[in-house]
Structure 1
Amino acid sequence: METTTLRPPRHRVSRTAIWYWTTRAAIGWLVLIVIQSVFILTRSDALTLRVSILVATVVLALAHLAVMPRWRYQVHRWETTPEAVYTQSGWFKQEWRIAPISRIQTVDSARGPIEQLFKLANVTVTTASAAGPLRISGLDRETAGRLVDELTATAQATTGDAT
């Protein structure tokens, strides 16, 4: 019988997740840049300061968009075994989680509007743990569907009451 030890999971998320994370972050940065630009165009006081702040925001946004998605791709991993679900996620704050199959209560899949554009999905595994559910983000739809089916079947075949 395999023991459940804290180790890096074997599978990466979809490479398309890099573009999804980039797009999602770019939308937030664009909103901030537009707001700052409107202030520059509608107010004439402290123009140099406002333009300097806008330039700093653009530089920070470009650095964030260049680094964050690729870094997250290197970190985000997942794996299932007959005994457990393993996840690793984050980029600044990284989290490793293990959930024994016998503790699984529900398995869900969700796709937001931007994820649908990139044909990605998330899988959420709810357990009887106070730490909350395990989330696997950035999976291609087919992999997410297979994972949900596999975990559901494995959890149903496992004896115990998931508490």
Structure 2
Amino acid sequence: MSWARKAPIGHAWGVSEHTTSTALQLRPPAHRVSRRAIGYWTVTASILWIILIGVQTLIVVTSDDAPSFLTVTLVLSCVLGPLHLIVMPQWRYRVHRWEVTGEAVYTQSGWLKQEWRIAPVSRIQTVDIERDPFEQLFGLAKITVTTASAAGPLRISGLAHDRALALADELTKTTQAVRGDAT
């Protein structure tokens, strides 16, 4: 399976004009998220590592008799933290993909645990855009597509904000044009 395939020519905001059979097939989505997502994932993960290493350091330094396991976990955190910050964002960028066709929304996400999802457009109930403070700082947004599926909503994280707005608008128009009760 090739991960380097080109995005199909289609709508400028990611809606592809694929010819598909009546059965939707799970396949790698065509579009990557914004490259700015790498920085976003790095910053949000580094905050957690800084807090963890800071608390461990504070306990080891201020304790008269720090437990030896805490010194070991501090050393491990100092090794694993930077390694995680180097590997995880790049890996996630290579995995996270999305695509919208006239028939379905395709998503692929994760890094250690990866998830592929497909939702027929006729099953879409709502389309939401979210931006946490760090996403705003990086000019990113995430789209949540709620369907009638028991598996829960599909999420496309790491989109450029303007692309997310246009994609949400396009999904809304496509959903309204498709007959069905979204259940």
- Return the offset for 1:122: 0.1
CA contact (8 A) 2:60 2:66 kept: no
CA distance in 2, matches of 1:16, 1:26: 16
Percent of pairs with identical residues: 63
Q: How many equivalent pairs are there?
A: 163
**TM-score of the superposed pair, with normalisation by structure 2:** 0.86
By percentage of residues, which structure has more helix? 1
Cα RMSD (Å) = 1.2
| AA aligned opposite 2:20 | E
CA distance in 1, matches of 2:68, 2:151: 48
Q: Structure 1: state its 5+ residue gaps.
A: none
> Counterpart in 2 of 1:6?
26
**TM-score of the superposed pair, with normalisation by structure 1:** 0.96
> Counterpart in 2 of 1:153?
173
> Counterpart in 2 of 1:117?
137
- Return the offset for 1:48: 5.9
Q: Within 5 Å, which residues of 2 pair with 1:73-88?
A: 73-88=93-108
2:157 corresponds, among 113, 137, 146, to 137
- Return the offset for 1:22: 0.5
2:86 corresponds, among 66, 83, 99, to 66
- Return the offset for 1:47: 6.8
- Return the offset for 1:105: 0.3
Any idea what SS the aligned residue of 2:180 has?
coil
Per-residue CA distance 1:75-110 (angstroms, 9 max, x = gap): 000000000000000001111000000000000000
Q: Structure 2: state its 5+ residue gaps.
A: 1-18
- Return the offset for 1:45: 1.1
Any idea what SS the aligned residue of 1:52 has?
helix
- Return the offset for 1:6: 0.7
CA distance in 2, matches of 1:150, 1:53: 49
Moved more, 34-43 or 74-83: 34-43
CA distance in 1, matches of 2:66, 2:144: 48
